[in-house]
């Protein structure tokens, strides 16, 4: 069985319907959707309960609002299948995702298989993120090439085949549940929390596969924290992520240390134009240390 973890917090019902419909259109049917309602309002909560009543493959877990990381952790605790994946409630998966990813994972004895995604703004595909053609397998010393991309989000000469593969996103991937073990999401972080999860998961991975297959559709929306205007709360969320990155630097190889430094710099560059002078000074001090 494949467990599909879907966190929801007041996602528009039409978006939820689109997401659920894409799962039901899957060519692989042995799945269990663990939908974690993270304190949504009555309208969304009622819709989820009514949906699950008619669709038994969907299990709804209600909890007080604690954030997306806490919701995903709740989903992880509820998993019973041998495999799992993550889907956001405003996105959708391709019909062949579950079937293709499971086949590749089993046939190649992988801990995790990674595909690509397309990004949509409005009704237009604005970006496609994936790897070069073929099945790329990382194991042994080569795993560091993959983890470099996860941490830094950049490629070099020896892992250029990864191109723009979304290695730092938790979706577009099928995981073997046994490899996740006790790895969980850091609940104090609300920006790039999926990257932290995948960095921590890297310690458990022995064999990872990457393919260019487009398995996921990511919809840009305005209610994500990433797209909210800079304010004190959002700035503190960014600093929380940077603190977690810095904590993971000691004890890793020189190459991965460099990857962490690149990630700190990339994060600074991503938000720099939105920061006020005081925030810029704080950001500079953190990155210099």
Does residue 251 share a domain with residue 152? no
For range 143-151, the mean pLDDT: 97
Does residue 115 share a domain with residue 13? yes
| pLDDT score of 222 more than 70 | no
| pTM of the predicted structure, to 2 decimals | 0.95
State the pLDDT at residue 155: 96
Q: 32 - beta bridge partners? A: 3
SS3 51: helix
Does residue 145 share a domain with residue 70? yes
Tell which of 200, 222, 244 closes a domain.
222
Tell which of 181, 201, 222 closes a domain.
222
3-state helix, strand, coil in the chain (%, to 5): 45, 20, 30
Burial 198-232, CB ≥16 within 10 A → b, else e: bbbbbeebebbbbbbbbbbbbbeeeeeeeeeeeee
Q: Return the structure tokens found at 215.
A: 């398995």
Does residue 233 share a domain with residue 196? no
Please spell the DSSP secondary structure of 58-122, one letter per residue: EEEEEE----HHHHHHHHHHH--SSEEEE--TT-EE-TTHHHHHHHHHHHTT-SEEEEEEEEEET
Q: Return the structure tokens found at 164.
A: 């723009």
Work out how many domains the chain is built from and give that number: 2
Does residue 196 share a domain with residue 120? yes
Tell which of 222, 256, 280 closes a domain.
222
**φ, ψ (nearest 5 deg) of residue 253:** -65, 165
- The pLDDT-based confidence of 224 (bands split at 50, 70, 90) is low
- The pLDDT-based confidence of 122 (bands split at 50, 70, 90) is confident
Does residue 57 share a domain with residue 178? yes
Q: How far apart are CA 85 and CA 238, in angstroms?
A: 26
The CATH number of whichever domain residue 18 belongs to comes to: 3.90.550.10
Does residue 214 share a domain with residue 244? no
- The pLDDT-based confidence of 223 (bands split at 50, 70, 90) is low
Does residue 112 share a domain with residue 48? yes
Does residue 122 share a domain with residue 6? yes
Residue range of the domain that includes 244: 228-288
| pLDDT score of 55 more than 80 | yes
| pLDDT score of 84 more than 90 | yes
For the chain, the average pLDDT equals: 95
**Closest of 90, 98, 92 to residue 68, by C-alpha:** 90
Q: 85 - beta bridge partners? A: 4
Q: How far apart are CA 43 and CA 33, in angstroms?
A: 20
Model pLDDT for residues 227-283, shown as the tens digit of each residue: 578 999 999 999 999 999 999 999 899 999 999 999 999 999 999 999 999 999 999
Does residue 172 share a domain with residue 79? yes
């Amino acid at each position: 069985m494949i467990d599909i973890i879907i966190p929801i917090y007041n996602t528009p019902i039409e978006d939820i319907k689109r997401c659920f419909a894409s799962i039901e259109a899957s060519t692989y049917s042995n799945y269990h959707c663990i939908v974690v309602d993270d304190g949504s309002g009555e309208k969304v909560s009622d819709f989820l309960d009514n949906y699950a009543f008619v669709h038994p493959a969907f299990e709804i877990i209600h909890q007080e609002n604690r954030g997306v990381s806490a919701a995903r952790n709740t989903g992880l605790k509820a998993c019973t299948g041998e495999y799992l994946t993550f889907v956001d409630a405003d996105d959708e998966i391709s019909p062949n995702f579950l079937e293709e990813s499971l086949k590749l994972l089993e046939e190649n004895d992988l801990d995790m298989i990674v595909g690509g995604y397309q990004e949509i703004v409005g009704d237009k595909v604005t970006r496609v993120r994936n790897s070069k053609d073929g099945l790329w397998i990382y194991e042994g010393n080569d795993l560091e090439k993959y983890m470099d991309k996860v941490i830094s989000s950049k490629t070099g000469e020896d892992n250029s085949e990864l191109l723009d593969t979304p290695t730092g996103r938790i979706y577009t991937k099928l995981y073997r549940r046994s490899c996740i073990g006790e790895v969980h999401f850091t609940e104090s972080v609300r920006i790039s929390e999926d990257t932290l999860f995948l960095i921590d998961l890297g310690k458990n991975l022995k064999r990872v596969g990457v393919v260019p297959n487009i398995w996921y559709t990511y919809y840009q929306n305005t209610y994500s924290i990433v797209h909210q205007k800079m304010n004190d709360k959002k700035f503190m969320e960014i600093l929380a992520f940077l603190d977690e990155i810095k904590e993971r630097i000691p004890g890793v190889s020189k190459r991965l240390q460099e990857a962490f430094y690149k990630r700190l710099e990339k994060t600074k560059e991503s938000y720099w134009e939105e920061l006020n002078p005081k925030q810029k000074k704080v950001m500079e001090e953190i990155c210099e240390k």
